[in-house]
Amino acid sequence: MTTPKAPTRVDRVYSELRADILAGRQHPGSRLPFADLATRYQASMGVIREALTRLQGEGLIESEPQSGFRVVAVSAEALQHLTEARCAIETLVLRKAIERGDLAWESEVLATHHRLDRTPMLAPDGTGRLSDEWATAHAAFHLALLAGCPNPVLLGTAASLRDSAELYQRLSVPEDVSERDIPAEHRAIMEAALAHDADTAAQLLAQHIQRTTDILLHTGFQAVQEQ
């Protein structure tokens, strides 16, 4: 059995900074000066640069000439464009996963759904934010659904789009979504996928993605913009 590699300094800074961005501790559009980051995360400039480069590849931060790095700004237009791309790419990847998915793929979909279904959605601090544990389980479930696709380019594109979308989702206010049964949506997608009903699974996934966007635009997104 291969021993897992120990996390490097870059891994640690990347993980901590990513968590701070997604939790809103680093606000959308805010600058990320190297000196401040080096002090905050107790790391060298080289380590900070590598972590920033990884996060830029995920679409969570952006670089600007003469200005350095900043957290990516959020906007209604960008969210709508992102949603359109996700619906097109993720449903295509899901269809291919269902077509080629084997028993190992089915088992992982079941396992990640079980974990997601048993994880509290909201953080225990009373802020109404999504909990880090639920967000991690949610991402794992959606990635497991797509993992049966044999095309690594499509998988990479889908994963990158999901990373960008997570910033919006984590900054939303799920308490406002009182009429939505998110666990039922996940369960329906899972059941259709495991039944190898590609048409139904793709339709449900697209509706799931679009519904999140619609709610953000009409409820939680205003709060995000005002931070």
E strands within the chain? Answer: 61-64, 68-71
Q: Rounded distance, CA 85 to CA 158, Å? A: 9
Q: Rounded distance, CA 226 to CA 93, Å? A: 35
Q: What are phi and psi for residue 56, nearest 5 degrees?
A: -65, -40
What number of H helices and E strands is found in the chain? Answer: 10, 2
pLDDT at 1: 42
Give the model confidence (pLDDT) of 95-137 as tens digits.
999 999 999 999 999 999 999 999 998 878 766 677 888 988 9
Whether the Cβ atoms of residue 169 and residue 212 lie closer than 8 Å to each other: yes
- What amino acid is encoded at 108 in this protein? E
Locus of tokens 């909990």 = 131
Stretch 34-47: mean pLDDT, rounded?
92
CA angle, residues 122, 83, 129, in degrees to nearest 5: 15
CATH 3.40.190.10 fits domain 9-71: no
pLDDT at 128: 67
Q: Which CATH architecture has domain 76-225?
A: Up-down Bundle (1.20)
What percent of the chain stands above pLDDT 90? 54
Could you tell me the residue ranges of all domains in the chain? Answer: 9-71, 76-225
Whether the Cβ atoms of residue 128 and residue 174 lie closer than 8 Å to each other: yes
Whether the Cβ atoms of residue 14 and residue 55 lie closer than 8 Å to each other: yes
pTM: 0.80
